[in-house]
Chain A
Amino acid sequence: MAITLRVNRQAHTVDCAPNTLLVDVLREKLRLTGTHVGCDTSQCGACTVHVDGRSVKSCTMLAVEAADAEITTIEGLASSADGSSGRSGLADGGNLHPMQAAFQECHGLQCGFCTPGMVMSATDLCRRNPKPTEHEVRHWLEGNLCRCTGYHNIVKAVLAGAEAMGGKAK
């Protein structure tokens, strides 16, 4: 069946079976391979994207469910509404979203595999809660697994990213 998806502010019409997962359309049909698959039980969160602004595990949603929604993947984050460059206030922000810049500044990534999901999840947190505490960040990230960083610098990055996005951390 043909479905139309709006991804990173562009409309795409793709042909796929009704049982196709959103993540498979993003990766296989649209070649947006920044969204990763790290498990098969909706636990790891590497596939997290924004659907109408809210973080969603794209391995847990059918592509047809996302028709008519506004989807943002890691590739489109820097050019999203709050992602314009130069707003991060952090070194080497360049054209990264402030949260992406914070992850680089705080060494919040190592192998990079969980990173897109972490960044998408963290961005959603900070849009909802501009001044999260360390405790709130750690519990919000419950749905995102990282095996490299021990979360130490991820948590620091999210707190710094929150500040850069406009909130002042509590």
Chain B
Amino acid sequence: MSAQGFGASVRRKEDRRFLLGKGQYTDDITLPHQSYAVFVRSPHAHANLGAIDAAKAKAVPGVLAVLTGADVAAAGLGGIPCGWAVKSKDGSSMVEPPHPALAQGAVRHVGDPVAMVIADSKTAARAAAALVDVDYQVQPVAASITAATAADAPLVWPDAKGNVCFDWHLGDPASTDAAFAKAKHVVEIELTNSRVAPNAMEPRAAIGHYDAANDHTTLYTTSQNPHLIRLLMGAFTLKVPEHKLRVVAPDVGGGFGSKIYHYAEELLVAWASRVVGRPVKWTSDRMEAFVSDAHGRDHISKAQLALDANGKFLGLRVATLANIGAYLSTFAPAIPTYLYATLLSGPYDFPAIYAEVKAIFTHTVAVDAYRGAGRPEATYLLERLVDKAARQLGIDRIELRRKNLIRTDQFPYQTQVALAYDIGNYQATLDMALASIDHAGYDKRKQATEAKGKLRGFGISTYIEACGIAPSALVGALGARAGLYEAATVRVHPTGSVSVFTGTHSHGQGHETTFAQIISEKLGVPVENVEVVHGDTDRIPFGMGTYGSRSAAVGGSAIVKAIDKIVEKGKKIAAHLLEASAADVEFVDGKYRVVGTDRAKAFGEVAFAAYVPHNYPIETVEPGLEENAFYDPKNFTFPGGTHLVEVEVDPETGVVEIAEVAIADDVGVVINPMIVDGQAHGGLAQGIGQALLEEAVYDADGQLVNGSYLNYVMPRAADLPFFKVGNHVTACTHNPLGIKGVGETGAIGVPPAVINAVIDALAPLGVTDISMPATPEKVWRAIQAAKKGA
């Protein structure tokens, strides 16, 4: 409709304040009389807590309070709740251990908070925290899936026998057994999906401010979903009614899942402000973040693929052990189950699938959603397995995929693992990606690489994901303890400018621009005249926040519903002004027009009439022009595509260089191509980071051995090339925008493409497997081992 509508790469409205240094992140906020909190955290992965002696700490000048688990218990604060309940195969509930905000009786991972020191200055709080004397009685540790599932492993929780939180399954074992019985080929794989730390660049922070005069609490926090935090704090932890609690998530410096959850520190600063009678601010150090932010991934899986003589997939069996950490984070149980096993059909036509997932407690920080959340784990497993099958059967890897991709005439496609894909065109994205990387010219590039004394490998991943989470009734039936709709308010001001209030939260995604473009597209209002408001429970009626690539698909749909109501109301007003019947008025190009005539009223004129109702249908239409809407999705959305990678490996050093990355995604309708491509770039970097560089490593004692930026290796600019990003659109069939979602595609599709490329490069040397991250050391050792074996 407008030049700033769908398909326009409008430059971002929010950039100006960020570029001028005028963003306002939580740590940038200073409240009058603010005090500072520092946490005493366990240096041990498992210990019983004896006495905590805070006398010396309290004597430090400027210290206001030292609070411990006993104070939390005495104050009646609730434990940190889990937002998703998964049932085991036998119908029993998952083991749901207590999670006090400060440890009570025992600590269960390095970083478990034991005491909170509050002082006039951060310096005093730090000095005092070092003087809190805690009697730790060190206990045996199980810090990995392998250690926690060994016979006689130390238990993280006495109720969780064998450290199993739940033992869950999905799919049909009988039909899967039958498929394997008639298979010509069975291909097996065992692999790990490495543990990673999300590392949004802004560390978490929170400021609690209790206003005693009004008995009202304000919490500023680095959250992806302030309303969800208010809901959990109001109902479970702080236990105050919603109208007495305001949660503000101002500018937030990245999230990638790690800022979804309700963390203990949020509750504690809010409560402590009451205790000390002053605002209390906490800002995480980076090393503190490594041991207190939820991590991602950390699976060990075994899988078998059954194929017929022609390479057609007959069945899939998967058994996965998922590390869930010591405590259950907000969405943790959903990640290795409903966001993982449900995706195991991938983009393929599978007649039978059976998946078993055991979630395992360990003495490590919680594991929860990280960009992609379950879907990267499913994709990695499947795409590694398909590649292995191609090699084992001697079929070209691209052809084996083509043979098994769901055809366009099979949609809607019901998988064997609960999901019903509405639409897609996996052949189109495959062809597009192959053209983009110039696959026909691969042999030439390979020769050039080999002329330099290096090895070249080509890797492919055809993937699908489920986004736009999700129909409330469905997720409720699956154990979610919240609805997953989204809310929006569209307020048209008297002179025709517009404010949009969205329950989603932007922490880099560009909602202030994209959502303004929805208004521009639908109402013809220039984006400059649209303000998008997010991140404040006092300004926005409600919301479920931003994660799972849901903001445009679900939050955008709520905005469209509100716009539709505005347009309908405007028709009645315009009909009155035009002395016509509302049924004869249409809204086109930002104008209300009597159909078939040139009699029209501009949108701004109708807005003005709504607020200055001198000539107005006041008996039947209320003044004002503002509408609320809630949108509950009808289904998940299913983005998918093909990710291709070419690597160069130096056989002398094991160094892997990413030579080419070309992807073709189908994320549905694209509002702002510049922003959509940017989301893909960021996901690719994180996916390549996991594949080549990153891993959060715990030793046997439960110490995180690389918990700082000195030794946790994330991609830097020189580690990556420019990416070739393409989109082939099939519009989502069940939301009003046709959008599927783009936030996670890069991180989901690319890791197996990278590893498949590395294995392809090393295959001539006899290497058949390499695990993430494919560090130079690991690649070099694999090459040496293959040489010895040869």
A-to-B contact residues, CB < 8 Å: 17, 27-28, 31-41, 43-44, 46, 73-75, 78, 91-92, 94, 96, 100, 103-105, 107, 109-116, 119, 134, 137-139, 141-142, 144-155
Verify A111–B253 contact, CB threshold 8 A.
yes
For A28, A73, A153, the residue with the greatest tally of chain B CB atoms inside 10 Å of its CB is A153
B-to-A contact residues, CB < 8 Å: 11-12, 14-25, 27-28, 30, 123, 199-203, 251-254, 256, 285-287, 507-510, 674-675, 677-678, 681-686, 708-710, 714-718, 720, 722-723, 746
Q: Cα distance A28–B281 when bound, in Å? A: 13
Q: How far is the CB of A115 from chain B (nearest CB, A)?
A: 5
Interchain CB contact (< 8 A) of A138 among B28, B709, B717: B717
Q: How far is the CB of B486 from chain A (nearest CB, A)?
A: 21
Q: Cα distance A74–B253 when bound, in Å? A: 17
Interchain CB contact (< 8 A) of B19 among A36, A113, A115, A144: A115
Verify A107–B12 contact, CB threshold 8 A.
yes
Q: Cα distance A110–B757 when bound, in Å? A: 29
Verify A155–B722 contact, CB threshold 8 A.
yes
A38-B203, A111-B254, A142-B718 known; A150 and B19 CB under 8 Å? no
Chain B contacts of A149 at CB under 8 A? Answer: 678, 681-682, 685
Chain B contacts of A91 at CB under 8 A? Answer: 11
Verify A145–B714 contact, CB threshold 8 A.
yes
Q: How far is the CB of B693 from chain A (nearest CB, A)?
A: 12
Given contacts A36-B202, A100-B20, A111-B253, 12 further A-B contacts (CB under 8 A): A34-B20, A44-B286, A74-B21, A75-B21, A100-B19, A104-B11, A109-B18, A111-B201, A112-B18, A113-B200, A149-B682, A151-B717
Verify B254–A147 contact, CB threshold 8 A.
yes
Verify B20–A75 contact, CB threshold 8 A.
yes
Q: How far is the CB of A19 from chain B (nearest CB, A)?
A: 9
Verify A138–B718 contact, CB threshold 8 A.
yes
Verify A147–B19 contact, CB threshold 8 A.
no
Chain B contacts of A46 at CB under 8 A? Answer: 201
Closest A-chain residue to B283, C-beta based?
A: A37
Query: Top 5 closest A-B pairs, CB basis?
Result: A34-B21, A113-B253, A112-B18, A111-B508, A150-B685
Q: B interface, by DSSP: helix, strand, loop or mixed?
A: loop
A36-B25, A138-B717, A150-B720 known; A44 and B201 CB under 8 Å? yes
Chain A contacts of B23 at CB under 8 A? Answer: 34, 112-113
Verify A32–B21 contact, CB threshold 8 A.
yes
Q: A interface, by DSSP: helix, strand, loop or mixed?
A: loop
Verify A107–B674 contact, CB threshold 8 A.
yes
CB < 8 Å A-B pair total:
180
Chain B contacts of A36 at CB under 8 A? Answer: 25, 201-202, 253
Verify B202–A111 contact, CB threshold 8 A.
yes
Q: How far is the CB of A1 from chain B (nearest CB, A)?
A: 15
Chain A contacts of B27 at CB under 8 A? Answer: 33, 37
Verify A151–B25 contact, CB threshold 8 A.
no
Interchain CB contact (< 8 A) of B286 among A40, A103, A109: A40
Chain A contacts of B253 at CB under 8 A? Answer: 36, 38, 111-114
Verify A141–B717 contact, CB threshold 8 A.
yes
Interchain CB contact (< 8 A) of B15 among A109, A116, A138: A109
Q: How far is the CB of B566 from chain A (nearest CB, A)?
A: 29
Q: How far is the CB of B719 from chain A (nearest CB, A)?
A: 8
Interchain CB contact (< 8 A) of B709 among A41, A112, A139, A142: A41
| Pairs A–B under 8 Å by Cβ, sample size 5 | A32-B21, A43-B710, A110-B678, A112-B19, A152-B722
Q: How far is the CB of B361 from chain A (nearest CB, A)?
A: 29
Q: How far is the CB of A60 from chain B (nearest CB, A)?
A: 13
For A107, A150, A155, the residue with the greatest tally of chain B CB atoms inside 10 Å of its CB is A150
Verify A110–B510 contact, CB threshold 8 A.
yes
Chain B contacts of A146 at CB under 8 A? Answer: 201, 717
Chain A contacts of B201 at CB under 8 A? Answer: 36, 38, 44, 46, 111, 113-114, 145-148
Closest A-chain residue to B709, C-beta based?
A: A43
Q: Cα distance A149–B186 when bound, in Å? A: 41
Q: Cα distance A25–B11 when bound, in Å? A: 34
Closest B-chain residue to A158, C-beta based?
A: B717
